[in-house]
Amino acid sequence: MEHGQPDPVGAGRVLVTGAGGQLGAALQEAFPGADARTRAELDVAEPLSLGYVPDLVLHAAAWTDVDGAEADEAGAVRVNAEGTRNVVALGAPVVYYSSDYVFDGTKREPYVESDEPAPLGAYGRSKLLGEREVREGWIVRSSWLFGWTGHNFLQTMLRLGAERDEVSVVDDQRGSPTYVGHLAEAAKALVALPGGVWHVAANGDCTWAEFAAAIFEEAGLDCRIVRISTAELGRPAPRPAYSVLRSEHAGAPRLPHWREGLRECLARLA
């Protein structure tokens, strides 16, 4: 289907930003008629001109380098906040993908939409600024994304698990690893719901070390996991210790368990 043609899910002309990313790839599959643009094809940090007004924008383009944002917060803000402003200026309702990193992680039960954001780091701050740019549409907070393309924790563990006998993995951050295929599909139901903030992440939760153990088990890799702390890993950006998301809204899209997402993604990679 050509750019700008009606979309089979009935959402009209759909634009996908950040189509080169892992969520962008999944959105292209879920919305096969969409005008899907990579960064090279549509840089959201620049004023945008499409030549048509879309009916819906699935805005997956973002600065996602959490540690890099600490060194260049202005760069992260330029893409995540000013870029979102440019996308909103296209004049269509927007699905803005936001992050569990807008929360500080001090809760010990799932974060719901009415919880107050308090980002710990530059990436979370820039994503929260992006949320505030959305005028008409849906702010979808999700967490710990993994898919079949790009760099993500799953791909890293598959590589390390094949190369090494032992790998050190953080065991004091808890979240919900979310398969991009499931998150992309959920957009279809979401756009029939009222606009506003929606928490959409995989069912279930785990630590990174528990996720790694599940990856090795499902992939049949024999690699020992050394459970370490966030402090021992010593990354530049602070990360929430607990960032499990749940929706408090009736009718919110519910995603399958993260382990099901893992199996689907591994089957796809096989």
Ligand X SMILES: NC(=O)c1ccc[n+]([C@@H]2O[C@H](COP(=O)([O-])OP(=O)(O)OC[C@H]3O[C@@H](n4cnc5c(N)ncnc54)[C@H](OP(=O)(O)O)[C@@H]3O)[C@@H](O)[C@H]2O)c1
* Residues with a known catalytic role: 123
Residue written as token pair 């996602």: 64
**Which regions of 10-154 does DSSP assign to beta strands (E)?**
14-17, 35-37, 56-59, 94-99, 137-142, 145-146
Binding segment toward ligand X, per CB under 6 A, in 7-15, 95-103, 109-117, 204-212: 95-103
Nearer to ligand X, 151 or 164 (CB): 151
Q: Is residue 18 a contact residue for ligand X (CB under 6 A)?
A: yes
**Which regions of the chain does DSSP assign to beta strands (E)?**
14-17, 35-37, 56-59, 94-99, 137-142, 145-146, 166-170, 174-175, 178-179, 196-199, 206-207, 224-228
Q: Is residue 137 a contact residue for ligand X (CB under 6 A)?
A: no
Query: Considering only residues 97, 111, 179, 258, which one is a binding residue for ligand X as defined by CB under 6 A?
Result: 97
Residue nearest to ligand X (CB): 21
Report, in Å, the least distance between residue 121 CB and ligand X: 13
DSSP tag of 116 = P
Nearer to ligand X, 97 or 216 (CB): 97
Instruction: State the Cα–Cα distance between residues 66 and 41, nearest whole angstrom.
Output: 24
What is the bridge-based pairing of β-strands 174-175 and 206-207?
antiparallel
Q: Is residue 143 a contact residue for ligand X (CB under 6 A)?
A: yes
Kindly list the residues in this chain that would bind ligand X in the complex (CB under 6 A). 17-18, 20-24, 39, 42-45, 60-64, 79, 83, 97, 99-100, 127, 142-145, 150
